[in-house]
Amino acid sequence: MGVSIKKQRHGFLTVLFLIVFVLSGFCLSADAQTEPKKVLLIHSYHPEYPWVASITKGVEAALKGENAELEIFYMDTKRKTSDEWKVQAGKLAREKVDTWQPDAVIAADDNAQIFVTQRYAGQEKPFFVFCGVNGEPSDYGLPASNVTGIVERPHFKESVKYLLEIVPNIRRIAVMSDKGPTSVGALEFMRKQDIGIKVLDYRLIDDFDLWKKRILDYNIDSDAVAIYMYHTVKRAGEIESMPPQEVMAWTIENSSVPTIGFFDFSIIDGMLAGVVESGEEHGYEAAKMALALLAGEDIGNLPVKTAEKGMKMINLKTAAKLKMVIPQEIVESADQVIGQ
């Protein structure tokens, strides 16, 4: 009788052990299934740059509530523009990819594609989604079997049309920008646009003295100046770029013709008006594409696309400096008004 009780107890303990073992395995399996996906956001530039902050905000909004872990790496190639630093920054970014081993990488702006994304194109993993790219993706060997993304195109035609609503007598315009890779691709795109008025010049300038000379020349030769980027302009003999707000402050103070900007920060910094691009759109859409890929979506169903949203912005303080009276209907039609 005692032996029988022992056998029963032994059998009960064995069954209990098996139940605990199975349940433990189930819990471990559930934990493995709920382990967050790792998403790495590589920025070509630095965190204080408004475009970067805007993209990050969009990425974070898309990932909110998702089972994803986000890390951010900044290449800082807009303040530090030497070829040596870009190569080093790319190496550091690739080291981050290789050591952290993300499931997906969101790579923002052209330098991240030049020095990082194209090195992983065609590999099985990780997935890459680019955004904020001004050059032709094919120039970087993209897209690929593991790479898709969003290209950035300036709202040039729309911005000129908007300016003509504000200043109808404009007939000649000059276009200028700094010499960063973002600017090169953007101005190539602009050259192909039929905007309905004469474009006197397309200029890429990284020397501040030459920048100032061109602005003063355009005061005489043109009716308006469209300025894409001003973030890699340097003083003679200096390696690092000037603070962009300093470049724009001089520009607005010494410009006697209306200025077109293409980013929200451009109008905030003092340019008169423009239909501006949305960094949040780029970040949000790129993160959504990354999440879809991580959920098993075929990359063939997520082709490269162009960001579409544009916001009308106007700076009334700049308008007042130019002694312009802006019709109330123009002010009311703007998506954002600065200096109101």
In a shared domain, residues 81 and 229: no
Residue 82 covered by a domain:
yes
Kindly report the CATH number assigned to the domain that includes residue 119: 3.40.50.2300
Residue 22 covered by a domain:
no
Q: How far is CA 218 from CA 8, 158, 162, 172, 252, in A?
A: 98, 22, 20, 10, 13
In a shared domain, residues 106 and 235: no
Residue 261 covered by a domain:
yes
In a shared domain, residues 199 and 257: yes
Residue 307: its pLDDT value, please? 87
Residue 233: its pLDDT value, please? 97
The verdict on whether omega for the bond into residue 143 sits within 30 degrees of 0, i.e. cis, is yes
Residue 7 covered by a domain:
no
Residue 228: its pLDDT value, please? 97
Residue 309: its pLDDT value, please? 81
**Across residues 157-173, what is the average pLDDT?**
96
**Across residues 153-170, what is the average pLDDT?**
96
Residue 10 CA neighbour count, 13 Å, CB half: 6
Distance CA 193, CA 173 (A): 13
In a shared domain, residues 122 and 244: no
Residue 181: its pLDDT value, please? 87
Cβ atoms 257, 304 nearer than 8 A: no
Nearest alpha carbon to residue 276 among 110, 54, 62, 59 = 54
Residue 3 pLDDT > 90, yes or no?
Answer: no
Residue 53 pLDDT > 50, yes or no?
Answer: yes
Residue 21 pLDDT > 60, yes or no?
Answer: no
**Across residues 314-333, what is the average pLDDT?**
95
In a shared domain, residues 181 and 317: yes
Degrees, nearest 5: CA angle 76-79-83: 75
Q: What beta strand segments (E) does 9-123 contain?
A: 37-43, 68-74, 104-108
In a shared domain, residues 218 and 145: no
In a shared domain, residues 334 and 220: yes
pTM: 0.82
Tell me the one-letter amino acid at 255: S
**Across residues 167-185, what is the average pLDDT?**
94
Residue 14: its pLDDT value, please? 53
Residue 26 pLDDT > 80, yes or no?
Answer: no
Residue 145 pLDDT > 50, yes or no?
Answer: yes
Q: What percent of the chain has pLDDT over 90?
A: 86
In a shared domain, residues 200 and 316: yes
In a shared domain, residues 91 and 201: no
In a shared domain, residues 146 and 289: yes
- DSSP letters along 218-270, please? HHHH-SEEEE---SS-B-TT-SBPPPHHHHHHHHHHH--S-EE-SBHHHHHHT
pLDDT tens, position by position, 71-118: 999 999 999 999 999 999 999 999 999 999 999 999 999 999 999 999
**Across residues 183-207, what is the average pLDDT?**
95
Nearest alpha carbon to residue 287 among 42, 34, 61, 72 = 61
Question: Which pLDDT band holds residue 9 (cuts at 50, 70, 90)?
Answer: low
Residue 308: its pLDDT value, please? 83
Q: What does the CA dihedral 102, 43, 59, 260 come to, rounded to 10 degrees?
A: -160
Q: What percent of the chain has pLDDT over 70?
A: 90
Residue 8: its pLDDT value, please? 53
Residue 19 pLDDT > 80, yes or no?
Answer: no
Cβ atoms 314, 331 nearer than 8 A: yes
Residue 24: its pLDDT value, please? 52
Q: How far is CA 333 from CA 264, 309, 313, in A?
A: 16, 16, 9
Question: Which pLDDT band holds residue 20 (cuts at 50, 70, 90)?
Answer: very low
Residue 29: its pLDDT value, please? 44
Residue 19 covered by a domain:
no
Residue 241 pLDDT > 50, yes or no?
Answer: yes
The verdict on whether omega for the bond into residue 181 sits within 30 degrees of 0, i.e. cis, is no
In a shared domain, residues 97 and 232: no
Terminal Cα-to-Cα distance of the chain (whole angstroms): 95
Residue 2 pLDDT > 60, yes or no?
Answer: no
Residue 130 covered by a domain:
yes
In a shared domain, residues 85 and 188: no
Question: Which pLDDT band holds residue 39 (cuts at 50, 70, 90)?
Answer: very high
Between 293 and 32, the higher pLDDT residue: 293
**Domain extent for 103:** 37-152+279-306
Average pLDDT, the chain: 91
Residue 4 covered by a domain:
no
Residue 271 covered by a domain:
yes
Cβ atoms 251, 259 nearer than 8 A: yes
Task: Please tell me the total count of domains within the chain.
Answer: 2
